[in-house]
Structure 1
Amino acid sequence: MNPDTRARLMTVSTATLCTALFKRGLRNQCIQDVRPLNPALPNMVGPAYTMRYIPAREDLNPIGVFLDPKHPQRVGVEECPEGAVLVIDSRKDARAASAGGILVARLMQRGVAGVVTDGGFRDSTDIARYTMPAYHQRPSAPTNLTLHQALDLNVPIGCGDVAVWPGDIVVGDGEGVVVVPAHLADEVAVEAVEMTAFEDFVQEQVMQGRSIIGLYPPTLEQSRVDFAAWRAARGR
């Protein structure tokens, strides 16, 4: 992805991105019911590489399937590109793990930007200590094989009620994860940086006791003048 776009998206919130996308008619880009295992990490930003699970069928999904070097889950972990985000469709089912600490550690060591599932991770206390962002619904001890069968890699999926196409830009922060369509990423990133500067100004003014009427949104000319002066003073 565009390195300038990546750098911009590292500095903005998912809330701001949701507003920028809403202005473009996109209302459903926030992956539902996923949370960061470590909210203190920097933003997660990268193009989506996807994995799709279907419900496991017992005769096709015994533990021996992991002996196959072409097993889709293992292949996905080894092929997810550096700088990408692995997004896993687990059908919002966290009763069995989408992956565990070893696989997530391998992603981290390969330079992947992050991992998201609408299911759960096992070894979640270990993953929470990693330096790579990871998002899930809740911890889940059972192996994925008990409920999930890995089927497809890098195809359009649904994750937390959001459609995710390979190459879409995935952004996560301390609150959640937003999917930005690839063709909108550059312009949305620029707008989000501008929105963030204005909201930082407003927050500062409100904390000093100023009313939001005429300030947020800036319907008063004085608010726009004050914002311009604030930006100039801070180099933003």
Structure 2
Amino acid sequence: MGTDPLPLDPKIVQTLTGVTTATLTTVLLKKGLRNVWMRGAKPLQPGQPRLVARAFTLRFVPAREDLATPASWASPISTRAAIEAMPEGCIAVVDAMGVTDAGIFGDILCARMQKRGVAALVTDGVIRDLAGVLGTGLPVWCQGTAAPASVAGLTFVGWQEPIGCGGVAVFPNDVVVVDADGAVLIPADVLDDVIAAAVEQERLEGWIMTQVDAGLPLPGLYPPNEENKARYEAWARTQR
């Protein structure tokens, strides 16, 4: 259904795993992309790792009584069917319209995702069966928990199509990075440029931090003036 999933070069994953979502939002802002941080997608528990993967999208719409029923769970268009289409290593990004009184997935669905090798679940909604979900080991970014099932407030309508998650437009195979600050989208078309700029930004900010630790004042340092740019470039040449 929808767009076929694409693999992501392991070298890209390795590189972006060393870049914070905060740095990525800054880099994307400089490229004119302001709306890339998914609102409401918070780590379900502390200590979840930074993860990088292509987005596998799922979409809910408001509940309609003739469609949002327990019988729909056995439909060919269901969350169960979508999970079976998820490729290993993807991040499932779910548009739940910010609904917080119906859990989109519970422990059994998350357990199946974990068994299929899904890297993480990201949603602007909530999950249910908290203890069971935590027990699966699947990293989750969401708004919290709710006991009612998804059909109490949502109708599932498809996967691998454009969605909105936390106010961000997410297309299948865009790249998602998640860490303690939340979930950030990198549009697939600008991925290479973002990687190069993000690595340099991390290097620069690391150097700036050493200068702050040494007692230097921020004006002229962050952002660096011409003198400090020259100092940084001299240092960076020794690191490359």
**Secondary structure of 1:120 counterpart:** coil
TM-score, length of structure 2 as denominator length: 0.90
Which residue number in structure 1 is paired with residue 54 of structure 2?
Answer: 47
- Out of 54, 58, 63, the position equivalent to 1:56 is 63
Tell me, in whole angstroms, the C-alpha distance in 2 between the residues paired with 1:181 and 1:230. 29
- Asked if 1 retains the 8 angstrom alpha-carbon contact of 2:204 and 2:232, the reply is no
Query: In structure 2, do the counterparts of structure 1 residues 58 and 25 end up closer, same or farther at CA, with 3 Å as the change threshold?
Result: same
The correspondence for 2:235, drawn from 217, 226, 229, is: 229
From 130, 140, 144, the counterpart of 1:134 = 140
Correspondence for 2:40 among 13, 33, 36:
33
Structure 2 CA distance for aligned equivalents of residues 100 and 231 of structure 1? 51
Q: Give the TM-score normalised by structure 1.
A: 0.91
Identity across matched positions, percent? 39
Question: Is the contact made by 1:8 and 1:190 (CA closer than 8 Å) also made in structure 2?
Answer: no
Q: Distance in 2 between matches of 1:223 and 1:51?
A: 45
Corresponding residue number in structure 2 for 1:165: 171
> Relative to 1, partners in 2 of residues 1:226 and 1:159: Cα closer, same or farther, differing over 3 Å?
closer
Q: Distance in 1 between matches of 2:233 and 2:138?
A: 36
Q: Deviations over 1:36-90 (max 9, x none)?
A: 113412212111111111111222222122244x242001111111111111110
C-alpha distance in structure 2 between counterparts of 1:208 and 1:98, whole Å: 49
Q: Which moved more, 1:213-222 or 1:148-157?
A: 213-222
What are the ranges of 5 or more consecutive residues in structure 2 without an aligned counterpart? 1-7
- Structure 1 position 204, deviation (Å): 2.5
- Give every structure 1 segment of 4 or more consecutive aligned residues whose post-TM-superposition deviation is greater than 3 Å: 125-132
Alignment gaps of 5+ in structure 1 = none
> How many residues are paired up?
233
Q: 2:224 aligns with which of 204, 210, 218?
A: 218
CA–CA distance in 1 between the matches of 2:42 and 2:164?
17
In structure 1, distance between residues paired with 2:138 and 2:197? 26
SS at match of 1:75: helix
Q: Distance in 2 between matches of 1:111 and 1:158?
A: 24
2:96 matches 1:90: yes
**Which residue does 1:74 correspond to in 2?**
80
